[in-house]
Amino acid sequence: MGRALTAPLSPTDTTRAIIGRAASPQTVSLVVENMHCGACIATVERALRRTEGVRDARVNLTARRASVTYDAALTGTQALIDALAGAGYRAAESVETASEHDARRADDLLRRLGVAGFAAANVMLLSVSVWAGAVSDMDQTVASLFHWLSALIAMPAIAYAAQPFFRSAATALKARRLNMDVPISLGITLATAMSLFQTIRGTHQVYFDAAIMLTFFLLIGRYLDEHVRVKARGAAENLIGLKALTATVVLDDGTVERRPARALAPGMRIQVAAGERIPVDGRIVVGATDIDESLITGETLPRGAEPGAEVHAGTVNMTRAITVEATATDSNTLLAEIARLMQAAEQGRGQYVRLADRAARQYAPAVHVLGAATFIGWMIAGAGWETSLTYAIAVLIITCPCALALAVPAVQVAATSRLFGKGVIVKAADGLERLAEVDTVVFDKTGTLTRGEPVLRNGAEISDATLAAAASLAVASRHPYSKAVVKAARERGLAVAAAPDVREVAGSGLAARSANGELRLGSEEWVTGDATNGAAQTGALWFSDADGRRTALRFEDAIRTDASDVVRALKDAGYAVSLLSGDRPQVVSGVAEAAGIADWWAGVKPDGKIAGIETMKAAGRKVLMVGDGLNDAPALAAAHASVSPSSAADISQTAADAVFQGQALAPILETIAVARATQRMSIENFAIAIAYNIVFVPLAVAGHVTPLIAALAMSLSSIAVTANALRLRNRKLALAPAGAKT
């Protein structure tokens, strides 16, 4: 049942609860550089919470950030950084953006991956000749030469390419803890050192190929993981682009002065020229204008604002200069509040723990115990230290989590490749996993269910001559209605030439003189002298030609052509569908009826959208939010999963898990279907990785596997999960019922 927004959906208390429960504690965001797995989350949070004065600490593994709430009288930022350093983690206070640093780290991994791949290919060429018997009849000097060439290629490559694992392992050991990189580094180091020792002795038990191949495949997994992390950085960082950095302040003596927006205080008066962003929340004291506040309401049509009207930072003054009296500081504006809502929602998302991360907590100690037991067992059996160490190295290599690490990324690459071909860009590292779990879809209206731009609704009632004359005025304006008039005229094939000497009457419309009289295009009151029809409220312009004939041009934000079909398909599959919009109830009800959505809310502000989603989540729903405006960005981040159209604001595209192209909504159905298939195939890949360990680990412990065979088996397991993932690219998929097991 449709309804306007009521108190439970937008309480001020809910917003305050999301931003912070008390004013006295301080919150700082720390960038923690060397977090890699689920075990790191618990270690970092434990180290922070043990620090005196810390009230709460939450870690976002995707963004590698920790949000810490603390009592400033008992501790400070440096004490928190020192606590993390004691746990083996490098941290620093977060600045405005870490995107460039993250991109450089991904590029660094890619370079190391290239070096490792080149070295692995060349070492394998030499090794195949030796191990396949091609040099069995040659002089032993030739075989020794091949081993030394392998050493010259592999050792420098390993020293460079494996540095990410070595540094991570060294940091963990320095802090007296274990992580996944410790056994990996140990296996690479032992295999390389053992191979060099055997090369010096002139024996054939050389495994440079195993060491470099291990490094290569591990770097593939690490790079894929880092690459998707770069795509999922904190969306709140982009809000700086929506802020007015400076403001024109009117001083007491009437003079004006440019000041930074952060220096504004309540009571100051600010001049805002037409076309400028309003720098602070306030109310208009001089002038009347139109305000583009789509970032708050999502509505693309400007709102008329007169003295006394409230305005918000980040909105755009469109038609006339005004003077605004500030009612908030720069840090307390609605725009700043949206940024805080975004950060709070992203921290909640960071608690999503995947199966691979949970398995990683037990991986490192188990591998070390198994490797040590293998070495000790064979020593007791009298095999000698060289043989025992060789078997232990094989165990460390064969238990490498490469297949486990690739299980999810390999499927994600196949899925994102398929979706890209369908016009969908997946951005979040774990977005597909969460998309597969949704059972409720919440749509925004403007720009999502609708196209986000007005179109001429009664064009069939308007003659070509009238439309062409109106367009000759409209072409001189950037108002959304004017653009719609020009577009309608051109689509009809009419020649649109700008009328001479068009003048704009602020707040009223456009006028131009012709040989027969004056042409006018604007508000009903200005054109006809009457406002009984409420043109400003019903979405219309009026045109008066040179003979005084008046024509109403009515507009609507047209619904996307396949919106009703997509909503019907979602309902048929068992998904609950709702509509949350900041627009007026009468407008929202019409769109909801056209799309076939019975459950809708109107007049919803950004905090209200979060409150609505939280209400659904409290009822056990997993919500997919589909929206496009800045006002949707906090809700996109707070929802279980989120999708945004390519026409959306940059901040919304950044917050969303996926972005779809084009005017159709059908890509949403494809995205959900692919996400559910991705989850199924990820589980299959986990099964492959587990089966590989069940088969090969006992063989390695029993001494039936050399380090080279271990590296080959590890490689085959990686190839197996990758090949399984590639099946997703061409499979025929249908939208599975909501809640069905995958």
Q: What is the pLDDT of residues 519-558, one digit of tens each?
A: 999 888 888 876 554 434 456 889 998 888 999 998 888 8
Residue 391 lies in a domain: yes
pLDDT (0 to 100) of residue 132 = 59
How far apart CA 423 and CA 401 sit, in angstroms, is 33
Instruction: Report the percentage of the chain scoring pLDDT > 70.
Output: 77
Burial of 322 (0-12, 13-18, 19+ CB in 10 A): buried
Handedness of CA 170, 172, 178, 180 (dihedral sign): negative
Residue 188: pLDDT band with limits 50, 70, 90: confident
pLDDT value for 254: 81
Identify the CATH number of the domain in which residue 86 sits. Answer: 3.30.70.100
* Tens digits of residue pLDDT in 576-618: 999 988 777 888 888 899 899 999 988 887 778 888 998 999 9
Residues 470 and 553 in one domain: yes
The answer to whether residue 740 is domain-embedded is no
pLDDT at 470: 92
Model confidence over 342-389: pLDDT tens digits? Answer: 444 444 443 333 454 455 556 667 777 888 888 899 899 888 887 888
pLDDT of residue 236: 40
574 vs 291 pLDDT, higher one: 574
Boundary (domain end) residue, out of 203, 233, 263:
233
pLDDT value of position 172 = 80
| Total domains, the chain | 6
pLDDT of residue 15 exceeding 50: no
- Domain, as residue range, for 146: 101-233
Q: Which of 87, 396, 35, 50 is nearest to 225 (CA)?
A: 35
Boundary of a domain, candidates 233, 260, 291: 233
Enter the DSSP assignment of 584.
Answer: -
From 742, 578, 571, 576, select the one nearest 673 (Cα to Cα). Answer: 742
Question: pLDDT band at 489, cuts 50/70/90?
Answer: very high
Q: What's the CA gap between 720 and 725, in Å, rounded?
A: 9
Q: Is pLDDT at 502 greater than 70 in this prediction?
A: yes
Q: Please give the average per-residue pLDDT across 665-691, as a whole number.
A: 87
Task: Report yes or no: 553 and 458 within 8 Å, Cβ to Cβ.
Answer: yes
134-143, 251-260, 682-691: segment of lowest average pLDDT: 134-143
741 within some domain: no
- CATH of residue 258's domain is 2.70.150.10
Q: Whole-angstrom distance between the N-terminal and C-terminal Cα of the chain?
A: 32
115/157 same-domain check: yes
pLDDT tens readout for residues 88-138: 887 766 644 445 556 677 788 889 999 998 998 888 888 776 665 555 545
Residues 224, 107, single domain; the answer is: yes
Same domain as 197, residue 109: yes
> Per-residue b/e over 380-389, b at no fewer than 16 CB within 10 Å?
eeebeeebbb
What pLDDT score was predicted for residue 401? 65
Specify the pLDDT at position 330.
63
- Provide the pLDDT confidence category of residue 8 given band limits of 50, 70 and 90: very low
Residue 390 φ then ψ, to 5°: -60, -45
Instruction: Choose one of 50, 80, 96: the last residue of a domain.
Output: 96
**Which residues are CB-contacts of 726 (< 8 A; sequence separation ≥ 6)?**
414
**Highest-pLDDT range among 323-332, 400-409, 575-584:** 575-584
Structure tokens belonging to residue 193: 């050192």
Same domain, 580 and 446: yes
Note the pLDDT tens digit of each residue in 22-45. 345 777 778 786 776 667 788 888
Specify whether 292 is catalytic.
no
Residue 390 has pLDDT above 90, yes or no: no
Q: How far apart are CA 214 and CA 120, in angstroms?
A: 9
Confidence class for position 324, pLDDT limits 50, 70, 90: very high
Of 181, 330, 444, 557, catalytic: 444
Q: Are residues 512 and 548 both part of a single domain?
A: yes
Q: Are residues 623 and 659 in the same domain?
A: yes
Neighbouring C-beta atoms of residue 572, cutoff 10 Å:
10
Q: What is the pLDDT of residues 64-79, one digit of tens each?
A: 778 888 887 788 777 8
Statement: residue 503 has pLDDT above 70: yes
Residue 334 lies in a domain: no
